[in-house]
Structure 1
């Protein structure tokens, strides 16, 4: 097969993206809205606990932020196409309000496999939080950072600034990700759960 002649039609790319969103959104789960909300809250709490395990100092940063958003994401690479989809909860610390959110990305690139990662966004103030939640947010630029993985790692240094007033921790089950890349990822409110 001559790969130089293979073209990725925009329709195929769109179908991969739609498939990823449907596949990862729990569309066919058969769960009620309340069960889906409960699952998201549980996953959000697990994500925070994973962060605190690997960067204990982050607990104070989360508590001192206006709010945070915790996401669980699964990515699939199938030869020349990749798709990621995930769900999350954005939380306002002062009021306790939760907003249920989705995330997705797709692209082209050689690979095969599945990856699972978590992300925690911290918001400096109401303005950046509201912008993220109400208007959606798309990470167009690649954000990379080196994280300290020692037992006494520096939590502030492990969080990277991805936009003015927004910091990000990216985690795997093994701890803080050495590289936090969120290029091409779109975040938006879940119309069914809010």
Structure 2
């Protein structure tokens, strides 16, 4: 009789653990979507013409990163890539590393706008890497300002950056990489 109870309890525990993991995944996805929409609004406040660009584009990606630097720097965060045609979101991670004459801590937002479906698909499937150099940014949490970090061209689109809070200053060589979040997709 005890053996039968154990056999019934184990599948029940596995089912409960699976349901909990799915609920956690859904909650994390919801949190990232909310941050992404707020990030878009921050960019639109900074430059109203971006709203029109985003709506006409094949898709976009937005990320929020948090980082520290003192000679060597690093940042990481999460975000999503959105296909405007299919309305599908792909959850992604972003990481950044740098070295140089730099100091600071910041909450930085990135916006990528993709002009064609192939560029968006390549970004989602293969990630993206870039090098950076001198930049400065400051933000108070309610406003943002950037110098030298405000944007650039990426294959098939454009990239923009906003320092939401904190202070970063100096010159550095580094890289930024985005990739799919295998746990949230």
Same fold (TM over 0.5): yes
Write the deviation string for residues 64-88 of structure 1: whole angstroms up to 9, x where unpaired: 00000011011111x3421110111
- Say which structure is richer in strand: 2
Q: Distance in 2 between matches of 1:80 and 1:143?
A: 13
Q: Which has the larger radius of gyration?
A: 2
CA RMSD of aligned residues (A): 2.5
Matched, 1:44 2:36: yes
> Which structure 2 residue ranges, 5 or more long, are not aligned?
1-22, 136-148, 166-171
Residue 88 of structure 1 pairs with residue 79 of structure 2: yes
Cα distance in 1 between the residues matched to 2:33 and 2:173:
22
Aligned residues: 144
Q: Mark the CA change 1:182 to 1:129 in structure 2 (over 3 Å): closer, same or farther.
A: farther
Counterpart of 2:60 in structure 1 is 68
Q: 1:33 to 1:86 in 2, by over 3 A?
A: same
* Runs of 4+, deviation exceeding 2 Å: 107-113, 140-144, 158-164
Task: Give the 5 Å matches for 1:96-107.
Answer: 96-107=87-98
Q: Give the distance between the partners of 2:133 and 2:50, measured in 1 at CA.
A: 23
* Cα shift at 1:182: 9.3
- Mark the CA change 1:162 to 1:141 in structure 2 (over 3 Å): closer, same or farther: farther
Q: Distance in 1 between matches of 2:179 and 2:40?
A: 20
In structure 1, list runs of 5 or more residues that go unmatched: 1-30, 145-157, 175-180
